[in-house]
Amino acid sequence: MRKRLLHRLQPLLLLISLALVALLLHNQWTELQAHPWRLHGGWLVVSAAALLAAWLIEVNLWQRLLAGVGGGLPFWPAWRIWFLTALVRYIPGNIWQPLSMTLYCQQWGVRPEATLMSMVLYQAVTLLAVAPIAALYLLLNQQTGVWTGLLAGATPWLVGVGLAPLLVFLIRPDWLVALVNWALRRIGRPALEATLSTGRLLLFLSLGVLSWLLWGVSFAALTFGLRVYAIDEILRLAPYLVAVFSVGYAIGFLSLITPSGFGVREGAYYLLLTPLLDGGAVTVAALAMRIWIVLGEVMMAGLSAIGLRGAVAETSSPPTSAYAPTPVSPYVAPHEPRTE
């Protein structure tokens, strides 16, 4: 019954997402029009290339996590599903994308439990990957930002608290799997038997850090493409812009009070970047980055919808087994049978 209900709700969720995106753009249109725009094509190309590279790594990371819990999925179907469900993130709650992904993944024979576990693991890994970037930012920027200036005396403690979960899970990666299984049981889904090694978790975290840094490069390049900056300003601001993006994004995600952290993320950027950058420039850069991401996701979602229909049309019959073939993975439970 829940499955049929979600199938019927999916078109409505997409429409609501598009309406929220349109409202977001409408509310900020006056401020965006008042900004002294200078769109530099070269910087926009750099930003778009970094954004695309970040997405490639993100989808690869999710694909690896999904394979690790018994849900084999080729890369391009994973790419299509990722973006076909991306826009529902703008509905409050941060739960609609994983729910929608379970439906599309089922078309490839992936169990809902495996999809949900892979998404929870993905969120956990990417949030943990923010910790070293945030720690480095705090250590290097103790006096120049509004937020970091206020908390300068507590910086060592904040760095320790932020890195503690990362170190704990690297030492005991099985605790991360246990935490995800606890979350699955809380939403009424059965737990999955899987193991995770320290080496494998370190690989996932490395991919997460690389993805965040590419997001930061995209944010920095877009910022420099909106206004004229001297070379010395670019060299001074670039490291902070690259580091700040992941921190603000994580704060917005964890807020859970607005669609995709809208407003919260921008406020975090303001506190982290002023007076390194004037408040107006920070506001415009933050809003422009959100619009930049939305436009990219809308384009990718459209292409993914076309690609997914083509892929489904080529699949004349459903998988012969109950679940999709599971590739050999370094951390699939040894007692779980494999499909050759």
Top-ranked range on mean pLDDT: pick from 73-77, 300-304, 326-330: 73-77
Top-ranked range on mean pLDDT: pick from 12-16, 25-29, 170-174, 258-262: 170-174
pLDDT band at residue 53, thresholds of 50, 70 and 90?
very high
pLDDT band at residue 120, thresholds of 50, 70 and 90?
confident
Q: Which residues contact 7 (CB under 8 A, 6 or more apart)?
A: 103
The neighbour count for residue 165, using CB atoms within 10 Å, is 15
* pLDDT value at residue 321: 35
- 59-73, 160-174, 281-295: least confident range: 160-174
pLDDT tens profile 95-112: 677 788 888 888 888 888
Q: Measured between alpha carbons, how far is 193 from 337 in angstroms, rounded to an integer?
A: 11
Going 92 to 93 to 97 to 103, the CA torsion angle's sign is: negative
**pTM of the predicted protein model:** 0.75
Structure tokens at 243: 């580091």
Angle of CA points 128, 251, 47, to nearest 5°: 85
Q: Measured between alpha carbons, how far is 165 from 169 in angstroms, rounded to an integer?
A: 6
* pLDDT value at residue 223: 93
With a cut of 70, say whether residue 143 has pLDDT above it.
Answer: no
Q: Measured between alpha carbons, how far is 285 from 263 in angstroms, rounded to an integer?
A: 13
How remote is the C-alpha of 258 from its chain's centroid?
A: 16
Structure tokens at 241: 């812009």
Average pLDDT over residues 124-144: 80
Which of these, 324, 293, 331, 256, lies nearest to 21 by C-alpha position? 293
Please state, for a pLDDT cut of 70, what percent of the chain lies above it.
68
Structure tokens at 171: 């030492």
DSSP secondary structure, 55-117, as one string: HHHHHHHHHHHHHHTT----HHHHHHHHHHTGGGGGSTTS-HHHHHHHHHHHTTT--HHHHHH
Please state, for a pLDDT cut of 90, what percent of the chain lies above it.
21
pLDDT tens profile 37-52: 777 889 999 999 999 9
pLDDT tens profile 203-228: 999 999 999 999 999 999 999 998 88
Q: Measured between alpha carbons, how far is 145 from 204 in angstroms, rounded to an integer?
A: 31
Per-chain mean pLDDT for the chain = 76
With a cut of 50, say whether residue 338 has pLDDT above it.
Answer: no
With a cut of 80, say whether residue 278 has pLDDT above it.
Answer: no
With a cut of 90, say whether residue 269 has pLDDT above it.
Answer: no
Is pLDDT larger for residue 184 or for residue 128?
Answer: 128
**Alpha-carbon dihedral 140, 144, 149, 151, rounded to 10 degrees:** -20
Average pLDDT over residues 5-34: 61
pLDDT band at residue 129, thresholds of 50, 70 and 90?
very high
* pLDDT value at residue 117: 85
* pLDDT value at residue 15: 65
With a cut of 60, say whether residue 339 has pLDDT above it.
Answer: no
Which of these, 223, 262, 261, 255, lies nearest to 24 by C-alpha position? 262
